[in-house]
Amino acid sequence: MSKLLVENKDIAVPGEVLAEGMDNLPGPGTYRDGEKIRASGLGLVQIEGRAIKLINLSGKYIPKNGDTIIGKVEDITFSGWRIETNSAYSAMLSMKDATSDYIARGADLTQYYNLGDYVVCKIVNVTSQKLVDVSMKGPGLRGLKGGRVFSVNTHKVPRIIGKQGSMIGMIKNATDCRIIVGQNGWVWIDGEPDKELLAIKTIKKIEEESHLSGLTEQIKSFLEKETGKKIEEARGNYNGL
Amino acid sequence: MYEEGLHNHIVKLLKAGVRLDGRKLLDYRKPIKVEYGVSKTAEGSARVHIENTDVMVGVKMEVGEPYPDMPDQGTIIVGAELTPLANPNFELGPPGIDAIELARVVDRGIRESKALDFKKLCIKKGEKVWLLLIDIIPINDDGNLIDASALAVLAALKDANFPKYDEKTEKIDYKEKTDKKVELTKEPIAVTVVKIGDSFIVDPTTEEEKVIDTRVTISTKKDGSLCAIQKGGDMPLTSDEIMQMVDIAIEKAKELREVL
| Average model confidence (pLDDT) across chain B | 91
Cis bond before residue B95 (omega within 30° of 0): no
Could you tell me which chain B residue has the CA closest to the CA of A149? B6
For residue A145, the chain B residues in CB contact (below 8 A) are 5
**pLDDT tens-digit map of B140-160:** 999 999 999 999 999 999 999
Which pLDDT score is estimated for B129? Answer: 92
Which pLDDT score is estimated for B196? Answer: 93
* pTM of the entire predicted model: 0.84
Question: Chain A contact for B5, CB < 8 A?
Answer: yes
Q: Provide the percentage of residues in chain A whose pLDDT is more than 70.
A: 96
| Average model confidence (pLDDT) across chain A | 89
Rounded to whole angstroms, how far apart are CA atoms A30 and A36? 10
For CA atoms A42, A43, A47, A48, the dihedral sign is: negative
Q: Is the ipTM of this complex over 0.95?
A: no
Contact (CB<8Å) A147/B20: no
For CA atoms B199, B205, B206, B207, the dihedral sign is: negative
**pLDDT tens-digit map of B180-218:** 888 888 899 999 999 999 999 999 999 999 999 999 999
Question: Chain A contact for B88, CB < 8 A?
Answer: no
Rounded to whole angstroms, how far apart are CA atoms B254 and A52? 60
Q: Is the pLDDT of residue A9 over 90?
A: no
Give the CATH number of the domain where residue B247 resides.
3.30.230.70
Which pLDDT score is estimated for B219? Answer: 94
Rounded to whole angstroms, how far apart are CA atoms A146 and A84? 18
| C-beta of residue A68 within 8 angstroms of C-beta of residue A240 | yes
Residue A167: what are its φ and ψ, rounded to 5°?
A: -70, -50
**Please, what is the end-to-end C-alpha distance for chain A in angstroms?**
50
> Cβ contacts of residue A64 below 8 Å, gap of 6+?
A123, A126, A183
Q: Is the pLDDT of residue A238 over 60?
A: no
If DSSP codes are grouped into helix, strand and coil, which group holds residue A108?
A: coil
User: How far apart, in Å, are the Cα atoms of A9 and each of A15, A16, A19, A155?
Assistant: 17, 14, 14, 16
Q: Is the pLDDT of residue A240 over 60?
A: no
Contact (CB<8Å) A115/B12: no
Phi-psi region of B36 (alpha: psi -120 to 50; beta: other; left: phi over 0): beta
- For B156, the domain range is 4-259
DSSP symbol at A160 = H
Could you tell me which chain A residue has the CA closest to the CA of B8? A146
Radius of gyration of chain A (CA): 21
If DSSP codes are grouped into helix, strand and coil, which group holds residue B162?
A: strand
Which pLDDT score is estimated for A188? Answer: 95
**pLDDT tens-digit map of B50-62:** 999 999 999 999 9
Across the interface, of A148, A194, A196, the residue whose CB is closest to B6 is A148
A154 CA: distance to closest CA in chain B (Å): 20
Rounded to whole angstroms, how far apart are CA atoms B24 and B38? 32
Domains of chain A by start residue, with CATH = 3-56 (2.40.50.100), 68-144 (2.40.50.140), 148-227 (3.30.1370.10)
Question: Chain B contact for A193, CB < 8 A?
Answer: yes
Give the total number of structural domains in chain B: 1
Radius of gyration of chain B (CA): 19
Could you tell me which chain A residue has the CA closest to the CA of B16? A193
Average pLDDT of A93-101?
90
Q: Is the pLDDT of residue B1 over 70?
A: no
Closest C-alpha to B44, from B127, B185, B154: B154
Question: What pairing do the DSSP bridges indicate for beta strands B171-181 and B122-124?
Answer: unpaired
**pLDDT tens-digit map of B87-122:** 998 999 899 999 999 999 999 999 999 999 899 898
Q: Is the pLDDT of residue B31 over 90?
A: no
DSSP symbol at A232 = P
DSSP symbol at A167 = H
| C-beta of residue B103 within 8 angstroms of C-beta of residue B80 | yes
Total CB pairs under 8 A between chain A and B: 33
Question: Chain B contact for A113, CB < 8 A?
Answer: no
Average pLDDT of B67-89?
92
Q: Which amino acid appears at position B156 of this protein?
A: A
Could you tell me which chain A residue has the CA closest to the CA of B18? A193
For CA atoms B244, B248, B251, B257, the dihedral sign is: negative
Across the interface, of B4, B16, B20, the residue whose CB is closest to A116 is B4
Contact (CB<8Å) A193/B12: yes
| C-beta of residue B170 within 8 angstroms of C-beta of residue B53 | no
Local confidence band at A236 (pLDDT 50, 70, 90 cut-offs): low
Average pLDDT of A110-125?
93
Question: Chain B contact for A143, CB < 8 A?
Answer: no
H or E segment and range at residue A185? none
**pLDDT tens-digit map of A14-54:** 999 999 988 899 998 899 999 999 999 899 899 988 899 99
Contact (CB<8Å) B5/A145: yes
Which pLDDT score is estimated for A237? Answer: 52
Could you tell me which chain A residue has the CA closest to the CA of B19? A193
Rounded to whole angstroms, how far apart are CA atoms A17 and A73? 42
Across the interface, of A115, A193, A201, the residue whose CB is closest to B16 is A193
Question: Chain B contact for A88, CB < 8 A?
Answer: no
